[in-house]
Amino acid sequence: MHHTNIILLLAFGLMSWFIPHQKAEIYITKADRSKNLSKEYVLLADQPKADMPCNLITLDPSVRYQSMDGFGAAITGSTCYNLMKMTPEDRAKFLKETFSDEEGLGYSYVRISIGCSDFSLSEYSCCDIPGIGNFSLQNEEKAYVIPILKEILAINPSVKILGSPWTCPRWMKVNNLTDLQPYNSWTSGQLNPAYYQDYATYFVRWIQAFATHGISIYAITPQNEPLNRGNSASLYMTWEEEQAFVRDALGPKFQLAGLSTKIYAFDHNYNYDNVINQTDYPLKIYNDETAAAFFTGAAYHNYGGDREELNDVYNKRSDKELIFTETSIGMWNDGRNLSIRLMEDMEDVALGTVNNWCKAVIVWNLMLDTERGPNREGGCTTCYGAVDIDKGDYKTITRNSHYYIIGHLSSVIKPRAVRIGTNGYKAVGVTYSAFENVDGSYAFVLSNKTMLPQKVTLSDGTHYLTYEVPDNAVISCRWKK
């Protein structure tokens, strides 16, 4: 017995000698494109080294903020058209790199339009013939959107889907709520209150139609950009209208149909498009508690105003969730210039929204072609995609800032992760956030917008991770506790 114990002790000692030190997984992107979500591994230390820098950031999991739903991009009709123009092999490779949680970046949330958007192949609703009995999915859904969603879900079955309408069917529109005259246009108009029930049924049938294809709709917004009359497909919907529509029709219809699909209010800009009586749009909706009970929270875009509005809305109604559902790059903001856009978009869109209580971050088109299309006249003809695919070969892909900023979040911050507290080093131009994943790992994302490298040490109380973040670069880290 004594001899056996000695052998076991020796064996255990030899095994422990060969057990590698724990490593952190790190993704890094530099604004000069010298590193593009490059993956590295860095050893963790069990105790602080004597020569460690003073730039120490300590994670504090006892301070807990919002849990995360996911990160992703819009799967518009245009995106799906471009994806379908790729060879099946090239498309599968790109989608796996983007959505796979094991072999890719783990994108976990997508947004699709209910009917057409300004990035559709045509203008249409799912009930263009008057009468809700004429509801049916159209060619864009059946030939493009649903096949692409099925491919995405085959790669990552847990991807969440948010649906938003750009317009109701034209036969449901009126010129205004006083005259109530028919308004046969894709652009602008308002929803006739006489059709609230039919339009609520329209949402229910749309969700059920996708379910027959094995596609679950996680959430919807009642109207994309409700204060924007000018989009190629649009509908003006004040907070009073959205409140009444959801309270009196949509919410009850969802309940009656047994749908658990979440409803997010607003889905528009931080500054409420400067429409004075629409300021605090979701908060005004919540003032009616019957209506408020049907809303999970509110969704925001960043085409106007300041992201501090998120913090303000949360502080006034912390019982309601916040998600960020659209932002775009384009000709107006040098959208293909990564040296400018990476750092600004990381600071404003990615970490800026998450650090102001957003549970999800979704950018606009996942993929457009090199001519910024296909697009609709009257919609955005100057937008770029998160990636742009060469229209000449439908093979060569250029990844833009939005692809990288979402990848830096989704690669390490997994659904149901909780944002946690941090203490220590702070500097102008350095933005970061920390998270605890449900699998027992920590995630940390840092943006260094300064002109100098920033050598930082992260501590979770047990491990220490030291890394020099280059100037104008983003890192994402993940390690087991």
Is the CB of residue 191 less than 8 Å from the CB of residue 245?
yes
Domain boundary among 357, 383, 412: 412
In this structure, is residue 471 part of a structural domain?
Answer: yes
Residue ranges for the chain with pLDDT beneath 70: 1-21, 49-53
Which pLDDT score is estimated for 17? 37
Q: What is the pLDDT of residues 225-257, one digit of tens each?
A: 999 999 999 999 999 999 999 999 999 999 999
Which pLDDT score is estimated for 258? 98
Q: What is the pLDDT of residues 263-308, one digit of tens each?
A: 999 999 999 999 999 999 999 999 999 999 999 999 999 999 999 9
Q: Does residue 266 sit in the same domain as residue 160?
A: yes
In this structure, is residue 53 part of a structural domain?
Answer: yes
Q: What is the pLDDT of residues 305-362, one digit of tens each?
A: 999 999 999 999 999 999 999 999 999 999 999 999 999 999 999 999 999 999 999 9
Q: Does residue 346 sit in the same domain as residue 458?
A: no
In this structure, is residue 54 part of a structural domain?
Answer: yes
Which pLDDT score is estimated for 6? 43
In this structure, is residue 5 part of a structural domain?
Answer: no
In this structure, is residue 249 part of a structural domain?
Answer: yes
CATH code of 283's domain? 3.20.20.80
Q: Does residue 398 sit in the same domain as residue 459?
A: no
Q: Does residue 203 sit in the same domain as residue 114?
A: yes
Q: Does residue 289 sit in the same domain as residue 427?
A: no
Instruction: Note the pTM of the prediction, 2 decimals.
Output: 0.95
Domain boundary among 412, 443, 466: 412
Q: Does residue 250 sit in the same domain as residue 351?
A: yes
Domain boundary among 359, 386, 412: 412
In this structure, is residue 12 part of a structural domain?
Answer: no
Q: Does residue 76 sit in the same domain as residue 60?
A: no
Which pLDDT score is estimated for 424? 96
CATH code of 35's domain? 2.60.40.1180
Which pLDDT score is estimated for 51? 65
Quote the domain boundaries for residue 96.
69-412
Q: Does residue 29 sit in the same domain as residue 114?
A: no
Which pLDDT score is estimated for 20? 54
Q: Does residue 142 sit in the same domain as residue 240?
A: yes
Q: Does residue 258 sit in the same domain as residue 357?
A: yes
Q: Does residue 32 sit in the same domain as residue 175?
A: no
In this structure, is residue 7 part of a structural domain?
Answer: no
Which pLDDT score is estimated for 50? 66
Q: Does residue 406 sit in the same domain as residue 338?
A: yes
In this structure, is residue 6 part of a structural domain?
Answer: no
Which pLDDT score is estimated for 7? 43
Domain count, the chain: 2
